[in-house]
Amino acid sequence: MKDVSASYRLVGGAPDSPVILHVPHSSRVIPPDVRNGIVLEDAALERELDHITDSHTARVASTAAARCATGPWQFVNQLSRLVVDPERFPDEREEMLAVGMGAVYTRTTHREELRPADHDGQQLVERYFHPYATAVTEAVTQRLAAVGRAVIIDVHSYPTERLPYELHGDGPRPPICLGRDAFHTPADLLAHAEKAFAGFGGTGVNTPFEGTYVPLKYYGNDPRVSALMIEIRRDVYMSEPGGPAGPGLDALANALTDLVDMASTAGVVRP
């Protein structure tokens, strides 16, 4: 089996930081053998990557981390979500299977063929998805052992205009969408995020995307693990789709710095 260590990167933070900045969708990298299983021609694949990639979010996270009083840990996916999407369920629990976008996508953002409908994604799940999930779980476990709690802040972006694959995209599309979970998102973490990101024109909660990422080992059963998803509307900081970052990126990094500093020091208030 090939070494999968290059498929993700854990950047160490301060030993006493509980915060993990999780960046799952920022990469455009597709290994050649995985590329061979995708039916799109090169130009069409580049257009799809423009739409599906959360461009520059790793840069937002790393810039914020460098400015924090207590440096957070960073867990960054080094591969495109077109390889596997680490934030999907790898089985029939995943609702995005309805549009061909489970852990291994068979359809594009515009519901066109990405892989053959009979494609067996299990090999990619075994090769990439499970090792990634294990590594994130271990990172959270280490924070619990070191600090007694863990705070996962998921850094994403989303397009200004709804794409055809979105199952719940008919709601408001605020500049900043905050994804919360009823069990894992403390009230103070959500409130501070609303304050930290208020300067971008407004925030919304669970619209157009909802929930947040917590390793299944801890999901719904361990209140020491807190989590919040930050979804940044792309026109706030970049040219769409897939273009360069603009001046909004620096301001977003400052807002994320503020949120991380609060999460590193504040007490936990359950919802």
**3-state DSSP assignment of residue 37:** coil
Q: Which residues contact 172 (CB under 8 A, 6 or more apart)?
A: 204, 207, 208
Distance CA 209, CA 163 (A): 13
Distance CA 12, CA 30 (A): 25
Predicted TM-score (pTM) of the model is: 0.95
pLDDT in tens, the chain (271 residues): 345 557 999 999 999 999 999 999 999 999 999 999 999 999 999 999 999 999 999 999 999 999 999 999 999 999 999 999 999 999 889 999 999 999 999 999 999 999 998 899 999 999 999 999 999 999 999 999 999 999 999 999 999 999 999 988 888 999 999 999 999 999 999 999 999 999 999 999 999 999 999 999 999 999 999 999 999 999 999 999 999 999 999 999 999 999 999 999 865 444 4
CB 253 within 8 A of CB 64: yes
Q: Which residues contact 155 (CB under 8 A, 6 or more apart)?
A: 21, 22, 23, 26, 54, 57, 58, 60, 61, 230, 232, 256
